Amino acid sequence: MFKHLFLLLLITLLVSGTATSQNIYTHKNYNWNTNPLLSPVSDEEKNESAVILKDKRIIEYAYSEESDTLYLYEIAHKIVRVNDDKGVEDYNKVYVPVNDVVGFEELKARAITKDGKVTELNKNNIKELKDAGDYGSLKIFAIEGVEKGGEIEYMYIIKSVVTDPYGREYLQSDTKTKEASIDIVSPPNLIFEAKSYNNFPQLSLLETDSLRVLRGAATEIPALLQEEYGNYRANLMRVDYKISYNTGSLKQNRLYSWQMAAENFSDLLYSYADESKKPIQGILNKLKIKKLKTGQKVAKIEDYIKNNYSIEDGSGPDYTMVDRILVNKYANELGFSRLFAAFLTVAGIEHELVITSNRINSRFDKDFESWNNFTDILFYFPETEQYVSAPMLQFRYGPAPYQFANNYGLFIQPAAQTGVVKYIAMPKAEYSANNIDATITFSPAFVPEVTVRHGFTGYRASEYRIINQYQKDAFVQAIVMSGMEDAQRKSTQVFNEGMENSAYPGKEFYLTSQLTAQSLIEKAGKNYLFKIGNIIGPQVELYQEHARQSDIDMDY
């Protein structure tokens, strides 16, 4: 959400001031073997669809030879053994991100058969995909000549404009890796720090007069498999890195710290034109919130915004500036948060800004000042200890959405522009309940007649309400008839379905239904079996053939 937002700040902070007379460039000296040979693999590895033999990353920050402009050079070099059709299918296409790329210093690939035949990449086969969703623009190419029992090898060196002097590299996947390594290279005046996660070794520092290198490596990295309640991405081996100091700067302040984040996010979220205050105050007057309690005020403001403004993909002032959003009635996610901040400020409601991460993807590390932690915005109300996520339409005023709860965040006082990392509590299990109350009778023909009530509270109610808003028939069918697919539904009623009810935990979202379901009865000789478990519906099965790798971490 925040990419490129602080680019001007970055340019100011990272100008060298002490540029060396002769720059040393690691990327210019890196290459693959000119005479490739197949690497040996064990019998066990031959039974895998694929094995990553080498995964080398070099992240190099270097000043231009002509100026103090800082560029990022990224080297990726990978060799993969493919043993069957699945391995070939999974790895014979390569995707290279090209966002902010100035140019390719190198881009090459080759296939090596088990007989040693080498087929080089035909660069005419390289295609570019302009918009690949979250991945941005990509270069895509297929590697020809790939055979089972052979290897795929590719490497690229891309030169980019530095937009964020911090980053994250994942060094594990669902394929075993024999050898993985990472170097983070910078000029001597730019001091980077790094931290490894999920058992990847911590990086060590190598320092010369011309370079600083943070280096880490691991061997025999097991494949991490998808598991129920496993939070796959959060559990992958990875390295986070960030710049901490520029010794060539006149000011030796710590860079990209929690304090700097507090200052910059306060400016980002709370800068809006004075002419926006009058229309906002007019809306607040119509909402008649002046005499309400804090929680009621917040809930009313949130309900108004989420019912009258739409979230759309887009960038630029029309999507982010409060004065334009008030007129256009739409905003992107950042714009939605800025609009909500403006309403809270004009209404005089005490609150804190919280910048956090989605723990399903990566847990917020309170001990490492990395802006990789910052992916999402919340508003916290100290008086009531409740939260709001402005752009998440399915959640309303209450506990933090479960993606951010049981996690940490940077709590910012916007006026003072100071921040402190604190824990975001998860409500107790009983907050989110799924209650089923069923009465079963039997017709003279021995057909089960079911009267059932499904009730939901907390997070489950919030998520089900939003589905019900947009896909009501399908939602009702899925809930009522789960486990009884042959059921004949006679009637169904839905209660407390409005999204505003999610701000009031006591308002249970529930459905009542009457139906018949012959499949609940099964004749076994002279006896009849009644399948009461089918009324409850299918349950998650945690059985798996391999030993569990990741701790169980349920959504809520």
Give the pLDDT confidence score for residue 2 in this predicted structure.
Answer: 62
> Residue 41 CB: number of other CB atoms within 10 A?
18
Answer with the one of 253, 271, 297 that is the final residue of a domain: 253
Q: How far is CA 215 from the centre of its chain?
A: 26
Mean pLDDT of the chain: 92
Return the amino acid letter for 45: E
Q: Identify whether residues 328 and 233 lie together within a single domain.
A: no
Q: Is the pLDDT reported for residue 253 higher than 70?
A: yes
Residue 200 is given by DSSP the state P
- 407 belongs to a structural domain: yes
- Please write the tens of the pLDDT for every residue from 173-215: 999 999 999 999 999 999 999 999 999 999 999 999 899 999 9
Domain range holding 265? Answer: 259-424
CB-CB contact of 378 with 409 (8 Å)? yes
Distance CA 377, CA 389 (A): 7
Confidence band (pLDDT; 50, 70, 90) for 252?
A: confident
Work out the average pLDDT over 300-317.
96
Tokens of 98: 């090209």
Give the pLDDT confidence score for residue 237 in this predicted structure.
Answer: 99
Q: Identify whether residues 278 and 197 lie together within a single domain.
A: no
240-278 core/surface letters (b: 16 or more CB in 10 A; e: else): bbbbbbbebbeeeeebbebbbbbbbbbebbbebeeebee
What is the percent of the chain where pLDDT is above 90?
A: 76
Number of domains making up the chain: 3
Give the pLDDT confidence score for residue 19 in this predicted structure.
Answer: 46
Answer with the one of 375, 397, 424 that is the final residue of a domain: 424
Residue 201 is given by DSSP the state P
Q: Identify whether residues 174 and 318 lie together within a single domain.
A: no
Tokens of 311: 């979230």
- 105 belongs to a structural domain: yes
Backbone CA torsion sign across 154, 155, 156, 162:
positive
Answer with the one of 203, 231, 253 that is the final residue of a domain: 253
Separation in Å, CA 137 to CA 2, 100, 429: 18, 9, 42
Q: Identify whether residues 67 and 206 lie together within a single domain.
A: yes
Distance CA 400, CA 463 (A): 14
Give the pLDDT confidence score for residue 486 in this predicted structure.
Answer: 87
Give the pLDDT confidence score for residue 432 in this predicted structure.
Answer: 95
The residue among 518, 520, 498 whose CA lies nearest residue 509 is: 498
Give the containing element (helix H, strand E) for 212: strand 212-221
Query: Can you tell me which residue has the tokens 């059709």?
Result: 85
The residue among 109, 133, 107 whose CA lies nearest residue 121 is: 109
Strands 521-524 and 212-221 come out as: unpaired
Q: Identify whether residues 268 and 235 lie together within a single domain.
A: no
- Please write the tens of the pLDDT for every residue from 8-40: 455 556 665 554 434 567 888 999 999 999 999
Confidence band (pLDDT; 50, 70, 90) for 378?
A: very high
- 218 belongs to a structural domain: yes
Return the amino acid letter for 529: L
H helix count then E strand count, the chain: 12, 27
End-to-end alpha carbon distance in the chain: 25
pTM here?
Answer: 0.91
Q: Identify whether residues 29 and 45 lie together within a single domain.
A: yes
Give the pLDDT confidence score for residue 540 in this predicted structure.
Answer: 75
Q: Is the pLDDT reported for residue 100 higher than 70?
A: yes
Give the pLDDT confidence score for residue 25 in this predicted structure.
Answer: 75
- 358 belongs to a structural domain: yes
Confidence band (pLDDT; 50, 70, 90) for 130?
A: confident
Q: What is the CATH number of the domain that holds 44?
A: 2.60.40.3140
SS3 for 273? coil
Distance CA 247, CA 253 (A): 9
Q: Identify whether residues 169 and 56 lie together within a single domain.
A: yes
- 546 belongs to a structural domain: no
Q: What is the CATH number of the domain that holds 335?
A: 3.10.620.30
Edge-to-edge strand order for the sheet containing 118-120? 118-120, 101-112, 150-161, 70-82, 50-63, 177-186, 212-221, 204-207
Give the pLDDT confidence score for residue 24 in this predicted structure.
Answer: 66
Tokens of 129: 């995909």
- 382 belongs to a structural domain: yes
Query: Can you tell me which residue has the tokens 């079911």?
Result: 450
Q: Identify whether residues 268 and 383 lie together within a single domain.
A: yes
Beta-bridge mates of residue 156: 76, 107
Distance CA 457, CA 339 (A): 29
- Please write the tens of the pLDDT for every residue from 40-49: 999 999 999 9
Work out the average pLDDT over 123-132.
85
Q: Is 336 exposed, middle or buried (0-12, 13-18, 19+ CB in 10 A)?
A: buried
* Largest separation between any pair of C-alpha atoms in the chain: 97
Give the pLDDT confidence score for residue 446 in this predicted structure.
Answer: 87
Q: Is the pLDDT reported for residue 304 higher than 90?
A: yes
Q: Identify whether residues 234 and 293 lie together within a single domain.
A: no
Q: Identify whether residues 454 and 417 lie together within a single domain.
A: no
Distance CA 330, CA 185 (A): 42
What is the percent of the chain where pLDDT is above 70?
A: 95
Q: Identify whether residues 14 and 146 lie together within a single domain.
A: yes
Tokens of 269: 């979220």
- 501 belongs to a structural domain: yes
Work out the average pLDDT over 388-407.
97
- 550 belongs to a structural domain: no
- Please write the tens of the pLDDT for every residue from 486-528: 889 999 999 999 999 999 888 999 999 999 999 899 888 888 8
Give the pLDDT confidence score for residue 14 in this predicted structure.
Answer: 66
Give the pLDDT confidence score for residue 21 in this predicted structure.
Answer: 39
Q: Identify whether residues 269 and 216 lie together within a single domain.
A: no
Confidence band (pLDDT; 50, 70, 90) for 97?
A: confident
Q: Is the pLDDT reported for residue 128 higher than 50?
A: yes
Query: Can you tell me which residue has the tokens 């009849």?
Result: 528
Give the pLDDT confidence score for residue 423 in this predicted structure.
Answer: 99
